[in-house]
């Protein structure tokens, strides 16, 4: 039995952060049902993070469809929503006091931006984190949509759900989760906030220890156009870096001489450019210089370290993706290797599990309130 075995989750189909949250819960054993709009009105759902989920297609704009969701919530443990449906937590928690109602939005449920549109880059900006990201003398730089959407949104929402489930085991009561991507990514940046007085971020953006200013915490191009990531912060690691580069420590400025960092970066760059990535790996792999190759997705999946740990898994269609993390010793995640569900593929079996009769299901279908991918003959 996985850690979240038996937990029933309803996920209203939405954009990237919510599907990640649902996939995390499914990977660790929750029974996740994705509530899809009817395919004839919504087209492709765009959920590439549907591993382990089932799909129920229902028209929530019809009263009968909204009634279906309301009835499902009466037996569910978690409802994850990203949009307003008229089924607020007050109503649903009154009918099912154990329900955990997770609201995942960009700006949160309150505040002057609460109803405003936005994306990862906007949430990063409002959190203050974006101001810290980027190279010297360049504009702030947003690293795709990993930080706010997925880390501050999907992962933090999943954490909130697990925390609420744990609390419910003592109180017997559900609650509402207000998961804001702005606040989620700001919380992730707590170290940046709390280390300001340590001098780690006293220089302009791109000139500090961990943001590209230091020559020993940088990415360097190799002769074959690939890259090596260097993170030799501690002196003992820095010494091994210098040795691997074929330099003499006594002939160089001290490691923390900030005024010499720009010239040292140029020196390191010229040396790294003289060998291939593979050649540098052969030099540094047996050391603690904290020098690691920058791998493509394909190379990461085939790297000996990751292969030994089975860090990447392959589904039935041969598609590779990261395995669930972290690894639990006694109840590890066992992710599904089946293909992602079609819209409405599991409508009938889910409704039957949640107490609907075949006659009720047939009526909902005839009223065009639900949809089946493959309609059973007896309906």
On the question of pLDDT at 248 being above 90, the answer is yes
CB 275 within 8 A of CB 226: no
318 assigned to some structural domain: no
130-173, pLDDT tens digit by residue?
A: 999 999 999 999 999 999 999 999 999 999 999 999 999 999 99
322 assigned to some structural domain: no
On the question of pLDDT at 84 being above 70, the answer is no
Indicate which CATH number applies to the domain containing 42. Answer: 3.40.50.10540
- 119 part of the active site: yes
The b/e string for 117-150 (b: 16+ C-beta within 10 A; e otherwise) is ebebbbbbbbbebbebbbeeeeebebeebebbbb
287 assigned to some structural domain: yes
324 assigned to some structural domain: no
Residues 135 and 275 in one domain: no
71 assigned to some structural domain: yes
CB 230 within 8 A of CB 288: no
The C-alpha torsion from 286 through 290 and 296 to 301, rounded to 10°, is: 60
207 assigned to some structural domain: no
pTM over 0.85: yes
Q: Rounded CA gap, 68 and 361, in Å? A: 10
Residues 130 and 223 in one domain: no
Residues 238 and 146 in one domain: no
Q: Rounded CA gap, 52 and 31, in Å? A: 8
Report pLDDT for 82. Answer: 60
Report pLDDT for 208. Answer: 94
272-283, pLDDT tens digit by residue?
A: 999 999 999 999
Q: Rounded CA gap, 135 and 211, in Å? A: 7
Report pLDDT for 79. Answer: 97
230-244, pLDDT tens digit by residue?
A: 999 999 999 999 999
Residues 238 and 138 in one domain: no
Residues 44 and 92 in one domain: yes
Residues 36 and 173 in one domain: yes
Omega before residue 29 within 30° of 0, cis? no
- 299 part of the active site: no
CB 176 within 8 A of CB 110: no
27, 36, 149, 340: which is the annotated catalytic residue?
A: 149
Q: Rounded CA gap, 33 and 55, in Å? A: 6
Domain that holds residue 246: 217-294
40 assigned to some structural domain: yes
CB 17 within 8 A of CB 179: no
Q: Rounded CA gap, 80 and 76, in Å? A: 11
236 assigned to some structural domain: yes
Residues 181 and 232 in one domain: no
Residues 63 and 152 in one domain: yes
Indicate which CATH number applies to the domain containing 225. Answer: 3.30.1540.10
Query: How many independent structural domains does the chain possess?
Result: 2
Q: Which whole number is the average pLDDT over 203-221?
A: 95
Residues 130 and 273 in one domain: no
The b/e string for 43-82 (b: 16+ C-beta within 10 A; e otherwise) is eebebebbbbbbbbbbbbebebbbebbbbbbeebbbbbbb
Residues 65 and 178 in one domain: yes
On the question of pLDDT at 210 being above 80, the answer is yes
């Amino acid at each position: 039995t996985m850690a979240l075995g038996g937990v029933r989750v309803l996920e209203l189909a939405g954009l990237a952060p919510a599907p990640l949250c649902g996939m995390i819960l499914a990977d660790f054993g929750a029974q996740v049902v994705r509530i899809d709009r009817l395919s004839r009105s919504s087209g492709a759902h765009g959920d590439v993070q549907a591993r382990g989920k089932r799909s129920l297609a229902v028209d929530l704009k019809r009263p009968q469809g909204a009634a279906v969701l309301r009835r499902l919530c009466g037996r569910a443990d978690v409802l994850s929503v990203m949009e307003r449906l008229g089924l607020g937590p007050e109503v649903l928690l009154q009918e099912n006091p154990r329900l955990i109602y997770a609201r995942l939005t960009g700006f949160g449920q309150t505040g002057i931006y609460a109803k405003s549109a936005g994306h990862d880059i906007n949430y990063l900006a409002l959190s203050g984190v974006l101001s810290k990201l980027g190279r010297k003398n360049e504009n702030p730089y947003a690293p795709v949509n990993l930080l706010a959407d997925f880390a501050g949104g999907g992962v933090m929402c999943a954490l909130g759900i697990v925390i609420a489930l744990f609390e419910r085991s003592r109180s017997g009561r559900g609650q509402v989760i207000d998961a804001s991507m702005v606040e989620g990514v700001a919380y992730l940046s707590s170290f940046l906030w709390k280390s300001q007085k340590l001098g780690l971020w006293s220089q302009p953006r791109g000139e500090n220890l961990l943001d590209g200013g230091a020559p020993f915490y940088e990415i360097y191009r190799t002769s074959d156009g690939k890259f090596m990531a260097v993170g030799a912060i501690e002196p003992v690691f820095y010494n091994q870096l210098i040795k691997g580069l074929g330099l003499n420590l006594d002939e160089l400025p001290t490691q923390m001489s900030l005024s010499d960092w720009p010239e040292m970066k140029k020196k390191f760059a010229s040396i790294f450019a003289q060998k291939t990535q593979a050649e540098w790996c052969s030099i540094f792999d047996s050391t603690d210089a904290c020098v690691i190759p920058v791998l493509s997705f394909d190379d990461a999946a085939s790297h000996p370290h990751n292969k030994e740990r089975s860090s990447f898994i392959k589904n039935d269609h041969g598609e590779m993706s990261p395995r669930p993390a972290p690894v639990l010793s006694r109840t590890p995640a066992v992710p599904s290797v089946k293909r992602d569900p079609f819209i409405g593929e599991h409508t009938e079996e889910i409704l039957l599990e949640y107490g609907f009769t075949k006659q009720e299901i047939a009526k909902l279908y005839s009223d065009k309130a639900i949809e089946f991918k493959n309609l059973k003959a007896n309906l």
